[in-house]
Amino acid sequence: MSASAPSIPTVPLSNGLQIPILGLGTSHQGGYSQRAVLYALQECGVRHIDTARRYGCEELLGVAVRESGLPRADLWLTTKLWPGDYGYRSAKRACRASCRRLGVEYLDLYLMHWPDCTVPGRSNREVRAETWRALEELYDEGVCRAIGVSNFLIPHLEELKEDCDIAPHVNQVEFHPFQQPWDLVQYCRGGDIVFEGYCPLAKGEALTHPHILRLAAKYRRTPAQICIRWGIQNGIVTIPKSTKEERIRENCQVFGFCLEAGDVTALNALHDGRRVAWDPTHVE
């Protein structure tokens, strides 16, 4: 690791594990950069990498992890279960297949990717509960050190709470200045579920907002750093994506300054409800 790389703070999960508050997201959109992941791991102090079966880059990411030379125990690797693999047996097979592609014996966090199960003749609630039971067993077996969900709203979490033995450790949801689901954040915190936010830059839409630009000038930081710092100061585990080395370094340099309370409040007021990713509000 570069001598100048920051030590990234962590957030405790309900089971005592510590998840780094800042990670690197990966995606099939925009491609996948092996060089960028290696740079993040070796030069920027990144230890938290987020991916998914749907992105199609688990195997490449596994190569980058091995090439980084970092001990497996120092890393936090998250991947996700796609709805096409929901169901008790399918979920277990898919989890172990993700481990094989990543070249690891266990996952630090395994998430159900989406609340809509799209299984003909069966309710979403029934399939979610059956799938979650498989994740609970994978957790008990040590294949997953933590388990959680992604894009789940309060009604989905309420049903899962009634149907499960282990509450999700994490809920990963879209979160940026224009999409701030505070009711969901507070619900998760009340249930000891860590809230993790993706698309912190609103796919670039936040980078040209006049107020964010003014704050960037005030703090002599970039608009991206303002958005990421704002999320972190709100206690949100934040996972920006980039395939560019200079952007990854920029995104990691957010621990040397703090936004004033009034500026955090002003950014909190930018919520307008827009989404740049999936909308789970229609999913029963």
Q: What residues act catalytically?
A: 55
CA 279/CA 70 separation, integer angstroms: 37
CB 54 within 8 A of CB 80: yes
Residue 112: closest CA among 165, 181, 160, 69: 160
- Over its C-alpha atoms, the chain yields an Rg (Å, rounded) of 18
Q: From edge to edge, which strands make up the β-sheet containing 24-25? A: 24-25, 48-50, 76-81, 109-112, 147-150, 170-174, 194-198, 237-239
Residue 230: closest CA among 268, 193, 196: 268
CB 193 within 8 A of CB 148: yes
Sequence-ordered list of residues with C-beta below 8 angstroms from that of 111, at least 6 positions apart, any chain: 52, 78, 79, 80, 81, 147, 148, 149, 150, 170, 172
Residue 84: closest CA among 123, 106, 116, 126: 116
CB 201 within 8 A of CB 212: no
Q: Which residues are annotated as a binding site for substrate?
A: 113
Q: Which residues are annotated as a binding site?
A: 113
